[in-house]
A and B are shown apart, each in its own frame.
Chain A
Amino acid sequence: MDRAAVAFEDVTCTFAGRDGARPYTAVKGVTLSIGEGEFVSIVGPTGCGKSTLLNVAAGLLRPSSGGVRIQGERLTGINRRAGYMFQAEALMPWRSALGNVAAGLEFRGADRREARRRGEEWLERVGLSGFGDRYPHQLSGGMRKRVSLAQMLILEPPILLMDEPFSALDIQTRQLMENELLELWSANRKSVIFITHDLEEAISLSDRVVVLSAGPATHPIGEFAIDLPRPRDVAEIRLTPQFIALHDRIWRSMKEEVLKGYAQTRNRTAA
């Protein structure tokens, strides 16, 4: 397991309660490893700690105990080998779409003109050529997500951390983007941790689906290898009997947790 791209080792994250609130243990004792070039989806009920885990893998959040190894090395500080696509809006509102896409290259000291040129290329790949000079507020939510995707991929990081990247898109655009992502991924096998609340999306994209329990003290409760043939078309694969069988199996193991998670979130807000 030494060469795992990302290995969580007994990660526990406890958030200090503010203003007299009790401390909250979001994830507890998570041990999970993502192989080199593997596409792993993590599903789990809302509020269970998926984003928290991804922040740990990115090096943005230090776990209360345990740690992360990146390609065998212990992670301290920011994970320089990872690209992160955030769940929330993360574009710099004062930069145009092109400026946002090219930002990473500029930060890394690339020549400005060259960075812009590659930015244009990437905008085209995510279907936004001609929108380069728009500011984020002039783009639709889905377009902004695509800019974020290009912004991450232009740096060609070996590890991709994606937090519900396509949940804001309509189903057609979403499937287009999913296929595009699969194509990019299979071209030069990056390791992907893909978070979603959509089980179908998880199955159709991944090599492996990890199901998390409801919070607090979230931990993986099931791992399912997805042995569907590749290359896949996300729209077509959903119709195959294998897919449906897998979906059924995973969903049955999840259902209880989803209901539990929902009830807990409700109780916490009610209390």
Chain B
Amino acid sequence: MKRSTLRIWQALILVLIFVAWQALTQPGLLPPVVWDNPDRAAFFFGEPVKMFRVIWTWFADGTIYKHLWVTLEETVLAFVIGSLLGLAFGLWLGLSSTASTLLDPYITAMNAMPRVVLAPIFMVWFGLGIWSKVALGVTLVFFIVFFNVYQGVKEVSPVVLNNAVMLGASRRQLLRHVYLPSATSWVFSSLHTSVGMAFVGAVVGEYLGSAKGVGYLIQQAEGAFDINSVFAGILVLTAFALVLDYAVTHTERRLLRWRPAQSETEQL
């Protein structure tokens, strides 16, 4: 399929979903089948038209920006801190077999632990501000990056390594010019997942207790049984996540230019 036709079809499906949604939930539009009360469907599932109206007012009066900004801030901080920690630990354990054998069971245990339940503890430690959300995101991002870097270090081609040694690389230079580039390529291959996780950490953290952020907006709306605002928040979050993902893809393309892509021939 051509790219433009593909996009048109994708957009069409989206429109179709919302139209169907609206048709099924608008009170009195279709004869009631499941519920006797015609308002029930709208109560449980919201109405797209009203959702978009909510989103419109959020952007029109500007209330959404500060929430989006906070969520973005938390996501970026969690991602950066988690990645750096993961990179450092991954390099360390990847290069020192003593440390990795010693710590192996702990790493496995900590990774197996459902870390989202740490959120309330982080609230106690770091308060209701952004740092408790950042901490949650960090614990999620850290392990993804850590395992990838660890893997990356272990899988450096021995020939490339030996070659660098023969060319006169010192231990520091091996780290800088062989292990690090190899490991970062693995970090980037997990970039989508780790950015996603940073985002999840931020939103879940906000949802559980905060005074700002999109997660907080959703939580507030839920408290008031305002289903349309809940879905509006979810839509905004989804769009936000898509934008993040797009940004990641863009960075990835620029930084991993040396990696063979699937197809690179020019289509004439």
Chain A interfacial positions (CB closer than 8 Å to B):
58, 60, 78-80, 82-84, 86, 88-96, 103-104, 107-108, 135-138, 151, 155
CA distance A84 to B131 in the complex (A): 52
Stretch from B90-98, B168-176, B211-219 contacting the other chain: B168-176
Residue B102, interface by CB 8 Å: no
**Is the beta-carbon distance between A92 and B164 smaller than 8 angstroms?**
yes
Given contacts A92-B181, A94-B182, contact A60 B165 (CB under 8 A): yes
Question: For chain B residues 142-187, which have a beta carbon within 8 Å of chain A?
Answer: 157, 159-160, 162-170, 173, 177-178, 181-182, 185
Counting residue pairs across A and B whose Cβ atoms lie within 8 Å, the total is 68
Q: List 22 A-B contacts (CB under 8 A).
A: A60-B162, A78-B166, A80-B168, A83-B166, A84-B162, A84-B163, A84-B166, A86-B163, A92-B163, A92-B177, A93-B258, A94-B181, A94-B185, A94-B258, A103-B177, A107-B164, A107-B169, A107-B177, A108-B168, A135-B257, A155-B167, A155-B168
| Least distance between A259 CB and chain B CB atoms (Å) | 30
Q: In the complex, what residue of chain A is closest to B167 when comparing beta carbons?
A: A104
| Contact present for B259 and A90 (CB under 8 Å) | no
Question: Looking at chain B's contact residues, is the secondary structure mostly helix, strand, loop, or mixed?
Answer: helix
Given contacts A135-B258, A137-B260, contact A92 B168 (CB under 8 A): no
Q: Contact between B170 and A107 (Cβ–Cβ < 8 Å)? A: yes
Q: Which residues of B contact A80 (CB under 8 A)?
A: 168
Within 8 A of A (CB), among B243-268: 257-260, 264
User: Is A103's CB under 8 angstroms from B164's CB?
Assistant: yes
* Contact (Cβ within 8 A) B258 A86: no
A79 contacts which chain B residues (CB < 8 A)? 166
Whether the pair A86, B162 counts as a contact (CB closer than 8 A) is yes
Contacts of B168 in A (CB 8 A): 80, 104, 107-108, 155
- Chain A residues with Cβ below 8 Å from B182 are 94
Q: Which 6 A-B pairs have the closest CB atoms?
A: A90-B163, A104-B167, A137-B260, A94-B181, A135-B258, A84-B166
* Contact B166–A91 (Cβ < 8 Å): no
Q: A95 contacts which chain B residues (CB < 8 A)? A: 258
* B159 adjacent to A89 (CB under 8 Å): yes
